[in-house]
Amino acid sequence: MPVSGRPFAVVTGAGRGIGRALVDELYSRGYTVCGVVRNEADIPTLCAVNKEHVFAVRCDVAEASTEANLHAFIGSLTNRVDLLVNNAGFGASGYGIDGLIYSELDNVLAVHCYGPIRCVRACLPFLRKSQRGVIVNMSSRFGSLEWVATGTVPHTEATYPYRIGKAALNMLTSCLAVELQSESIRVLSVDPGKVRTRFGPQDADTEPHEAARAIIDLVEKRSETATFIHASGEKVPW
Ligand SMILES: NC(=O)c1ccc[n+]([C@@H]2O[C@H](COP(=O)([O-])OP(=O)(O)OC[C@H]3O[C@@H](n4cnc5c(N)ncnc54)[C@H](OP(=O)(O)O)[C@@H]3O)[C@@H](O)[C@H]2O)c1
């Protein structure tokens, strides 16, 4: 068990973008990190960050086997998880109700809703051993029911599957936060902002490492649960 006294974090979608930046940020803050990657080729690159404190496992969070496989891998490393970041995600291509493609809706729900449920169930026995467990669900401003309904976020800029997927993820945040409050496990939905990644928007104004730093500050310096929050610390309406 290589955990020793260090906090232990699990990050999905860790091969690139915000997820990779979160691994670097957490390691630099003294965490041992398990990165979940979909592509086997990303494992050596991630482990090269530090052979003793950065581990990687191949799981496609859309696959049912992820729950058991991730649980077993984490159990081989530690008996305690302090932070789970459900970060893996992607968008869809068909815009508007006429453009919606059912297979894309299935895929987005598999990754943004079923995937986080699987990862939470894989990690929960270990999170229960932490004195200060935190689950971060990486959401988006497009998951805000209020902002979509009022047009605060333009409906032309995100697909139905993406908005529905992130709204479902936000409901998971609320359900978990209420159920796990008595066990002192905090659960947050976080909007990372407009981040320069392969997925990020053209007007992105934030580097992945800046988003990662702000998100881990939220984890370490704040105490709220059942909150939808921007990386800057401002609350986002559900
Ligand atoms: N960038 C932004 O401005 C922005 C804004 C709001 C919300 N977000 C959210 O932030 C999160 C990270 O996005 P990003 O901008 O960093 O995008 P990114 O650079 O495209 O990275 C997405 C990551 O998710 C992984 N992934 C996708 N499907 C997966 C699956 N089924 N199983 C395991 N991993 C999977 C990808 O793995 P592969 O490398 O194998 O494809 C990749 O590592 C997403 O949830 C996104 O919705 C981003």
Per residue in 186-200, pLDDT (tens digit) is 999 999 999 999 999
Q: Please give the distance, rounded to the nearest whole angstrom, from the Cα atom of residue 35 to the centre of ligand 1.
A: 13
CB burial string 165-183: b at 16+ within 10 A, e below: bbbbbbebbbebbeebeee
- Closest atom of ligand 1 to 166 CA is 47
Q: For atom 21 of ligand 1, which residue has the closest CA? A: 17
Give mean pLDDT, residues 164-187. 98
Q: What is the mean pLDDT of the chain?
A: 97
> What's the domain count of the chain?
1
Check the CA dihedral 115-210-176-46 and report its sign: positive
Q: Is the pTM of this model over 0.85?
A: yes
At 117 the pLDDT is 98
**How sure is the predictor about 46, in pLDDT bands with cuts at 50, 70 and 90?**
very high
Q: Is residue 216 part of a domain?
A: yes
**Atom of ligand 1 lying closest to residue 112 CA:** 45
For ligand 1, residues with CB inside 6 Å are 12-13, 15-19, 38-39, 60-62, 87-90, 111, 138, 140, 192, 194-195, 197-201, 204
| 36 alpha carbon, distance to own chain's centre | 11
Mean pLDDT of 57-73: 98
Domain presence at residue 176: yes
The Cα–Cα gap between 45 and 127 comes to 27
pLDDT of residue 3: 54
Residue 149's pLDDT is: 98
Residue 151 domain-assigned (yes or no): yes
Whether residue 62 lies inside any domain: the answer is: yes
pLDDT score at 4: 65
Q: Which atom of ligand 1 is nearest to the CA of 201?
A: 3
Q: What is the mean pLDDT of residues 201-230?
A: 97
Q: Above pLDDT 90, what percent of the chain?
A: 98
Task: Note down the domain range covering 22.
Answer: 8-230
Per-residue pLDDT reduced to its tens digit, 104-146:
999 999 999 999 999 999 999 999 999 999 999 999 999 999 9
Please tell me the predicted confidence (pLDDT) of residue 130: 97
Centre of ligand 1 to C-alpha 17, Å, is: 7
Average pLDDT in the 18-26 region? 98
Q: Is residue 142 part of a domain?
A: yes
Does residue 224 form part of some domain? yes
Q: Which two tokens stand for residue 100?
A: 């919606």
Average pLDDT over residues 136-160: 97
* Residues 38 and 63 sit within 8 Å (Cβ to Cβ): no
Give the CA-trace dihedral at 29, 115, 56, 128, to 10 degrees: 60
Q: Is the pLDDT of residue 2 over 50?
A: no
CA of 130 to the centre of ligand 1 (A): 27
CATH number where 98 lies: 3.40.50.720
In a domain, 238, yes or no: no
Asked if residue 236 belongs to a domain, the reply is: no
Mutation choice for ligand 1 from 18, 69, 190, CB with most ligand atoms inside 8 A: 18
